[in-house]
Structure 1
Amino acid sequence: MRGRALGLLAAFALLVLLALLSVAVGARSVPLSTVVHLLFERDGSDASYVVWDLRIPRTLIGIAVGASLGVAGAVMQALTRNPLADPGLLGVNAGASAAAALSVTVLGLTDLRAFVWFAFAGAAIAGTALYLIAGRGGASPVRLALAGTAVSAALTGLTQGLTLLDQQTLDQMRFWTVGSLSRADAGTLVRVLPFLAVGLVLALLLARPLNALALGDDAGKSLGAHLGRTRLLSLLAVTLLAGAATAAVGPLVFVGLAVPHMVRALTGPDQRWVLPYCAVLAPALLLAADVVGRVIAREEIDVGVVTALLGAPVFIWLVRRNKAARA
């Protein structure tokens, strides 16, 4: 336990360092000493504007979204007992994308802040549909996965149809669907933060029931876990976390899939440690990818592209080491 606690503290220190780099590095770099100074004293300079109005909101959104996706992925893998599960398996990301596309096509919305609510509503509707299709409280992990795949496929088809039929929707959605921290602002964070906070707290409270559920339905019942309630609350937590995160920055791949595998290689399968580690290491990964995207090319590369490019080799390496299989 002491080693895990020290490891979590080290992970938090890494997150703080990456947050400082996220504030300092960009098209206009700001020395770390200046960043630290401006955090305590806003002086009205150009550097102060860059740090407070651009970089800090972007960094805070990255931390909130990263923590949400990492925890949502860990809950999904525990709930479905499927090591390849991620928030997208529930159709939550597809629901957010479909609702965003509808808001652009039908209502003509063009501002991210305007269709964030539609995206979150779409994610919530997709999560509710999955719960009803899979059989409510008695849904097995297999039925959840199959129902999620069906819901995701249908909503993805709707989104693609809308973007192909309407040029405005295509222009608006082709940037949002990549996944980017640069287009969200402090207002976006304020809109989604309550949902993210509730989802994180709910997921952490479900750590013990998820541990019992991982042993199988019969063993979980014998340990006192309420299977139906645990699955319902887990679906609610994933919907809140992944739905709000997707609404804020667009669908991001890999983070919710691979980070729980990395964490279990360090902590083992105990969700009481997996979830807090994911809440710290997932935003660290997301901020690192965002910083890399700013400096790797002349033009900034969206974080969704970087996470996919950097994440795939790491995940392959994890699989080849068989760490994921033993977790």
Structure 2
Amino acid sequence: MTSGAVTAGRRPPPAGRAHRLPALWLLLLAAALVVLAALSVAIGTRDVGLGDILAALGGRIETIAEAAVAMRIPRTLLALLAGGALGLAGAIMQGVTRNPLADPGILGVNMGASLAVVVGVAWFEIASAYAYIFTAILGAGAAAAFVYVIGSLGRGGATPLKLALAGAATSIAFSSLVIAVVLPRADIAGGIRAWQVGGVGGATFERIHPVLPFLAAGFVVALLSARKLNALALGDELAAGLGEHVAATRAIAAFAAILLCGATTAVCGPIAFVGLVVPHLCRLLAGSDHRWLLPFSALGGAGLLLAADIVGRIIARPAELDVGIVTAFIGAPFFIWIVRRQRVRDL
């Protein structure tokens, strides 16, 4: 066999064909999301028919069934937005830290946002939606910086295991501080405890509207960071050699993740494990190219949170399980599997 034949035999597939399969999976994921959204509107404590759904979509709420559907529509929208934000934030954090265990919940970011909101409510009497959102984003940013600094101490710098341990310890400490702040305040304890579980129940369009600009900004910055995250995946030295400003790239991408996590926590409460589970599953379909992985993670996160919300309504009828509880049941075993698969000694 000639050398030319060997070269021809090893020629990679055309670029169009290489991108065709991820694009097909992305379309299938979007179609699955449409089905889940329809199920979310249809399934609940009260059974509804197609006529009730169409009437509610048209703005009619003359019957109890139509009113039930009208309440489920903003809930479905919030689950889509929050799940997409958390899935995208998880993929960003894993790319920025090159840490397979990175997740807004595991790294303490969600709990930092939660503590900031609780302190704001208890000590400063914040009440407006925008005050909640800004406070949560500041808390998320402070927690992320704190965990990264703690995880960077000692030999080896910020290894995945050290970051995970620092994040877990920080989450526990912040959770204890939340309890300490809330205990003396019986007037806010009930609402704070319900919010701390994490959920999308009781969503309204008025509650969703203030958070949309923050989520939109986070989505845009995150997706624009895809190429730079691909460079970071090669290592800091090689990324710098390719002309990337490593520190600035990390800061911008991390800002997008903090914006998404903080805004989502402000409106839904802390929801864990979505950002851990979704990027790992999406890599099976999209590979490691962040130009594909980030959109996949956004759609996958939306689908996972919406499916978890539907499951929570079904298994506890006529009551409901908050989505934060369902995602914890899914995510905790997945976290253990990831740790065993990566081998703790290699992290």
Give the TM-score normalised by structure 2.
0.81
Could you tell me how far apart the structure 1 residues matched to 2:241 and 2:286 are?
25
Aligned to 2:309: 290
Alignment of 1:159-178 (within 5 A): 159-178=178-197
Tell me, what secondary structure is at the counterpart of 1:87?
coil
Answer with 22-31 or 94-103: which moved more: 94-103
Residues 80 and 306, structure 2, Cα contact 8 Å, conserved in 1: yes
- 1:127 pairs with 141, 147, 150, which one? 141
Q: Could you tell me which runs of 5 or more consecutive residues in structure 1 were left unpaired when the two chains were aligned.
A: 323-327
Counterpart contact for 1:92–1:124, Cα < 8 Å = no
**Cα offsets for 1:123-159 (capped at 9, x unmatched):** 3244156448857xx9975499387667655533421
Any idea what SS the aligned residue of 1:82 has?
A: coil
Q: Does 1:189 align with 2:208?
A: yes
SS in 2 for 1:88: coil
Distance 1:282 1:97 in 2: 20
Find the partner of 1:118 among 132, 135, 154. 132
2:61 & 2:216 partners in 1: Cα distance?
A: 32
Structure 2 unaligned spans of 5+: 1-18, 343-347
The amino acid that maps onto 2:137 is A
**2:116, 2:146 → 1: CA distance?**
19
Evaluate the alpha carbon distance shift between residue 103 and residue 8 of structure 1 in structure 2; reply closer, same or farther with a 3 A threshold. same
TM-score of the pair, normalised by structure 1 = 0.86
Write out per-residue CA displacement over residues 89-137 of structure 1, whole angstroms, 9 at most, x where no aligned residue.
554312221122223322556xxx74663354143244156448857xx
8 A Cα contact 2:140 2:261, kept in partner:
no
**Distance in 1 of aligned mates of 2:144 and 2:278:** 24
Gap change, CA 1:149 and 1:222, over 3 Å in 2? farther
| RMSD between aligned residues | 2.9
Cα distance change on mapping 1:27 and 1:56 into 2, 3 Å: same
Alpha-carbon separation, structure 2, partners of 1:117 and 1:24: 34
* Kept after mapping to 2: 8 A contact 1:100/1:115: no
**Which residue does 1:9 correspond to in 2?**
27
Contact 2:79–2:302, Cα closer than 8 Å, also in 1:
yes
Matched, 1:103 2:124: no
The answer to whether residue 80 in structure 2 is matched with residue 63 in structure 1 is yes
Q: Distance in 2 between matches of 1:213 and 1:56?
A: 39
Report Cα offsets for 1:32-74 as digits up to 9, x if no partner. Answer: 46424643x333422333223x111101100100000000000
| Structure-1 separation of matches of 2:137 and 2:108 | 8
User: 1:20–1:250: structure 2 CA closer, same or farther, 3 Å change rule?
Assistant: same
Of 20-29 and 113-122, the range deviating more from structure 2: 113-122
Change (3 A) 1:164 1:319: same
Displacement after TM superposition at 1:248 (Å): 0.7
CA distance in 2, matches of 1:175, 1:208: 40
- Measured in 1, the distance between the counterparts of 2:334 and 2:49 equals 30
Q: Is the 8 A contact 2:101 2:335 kept in 1?
A: no
CA gap of 1:155–1:3, structure 2 versus 1, over 3 A, is same
Any conservation in 1 of the 2:133–2:211 contact (CA below 8 Å)?
no
Task: Measure, in 1, the Cα distance between the counterparts of 2:117 and 2:141.
Answer: 16
The structure with more radius of gyration: 2
Aligned to 1:232: 251
Within the candidate set 277, 300, 307, 2:320 is matched to 300
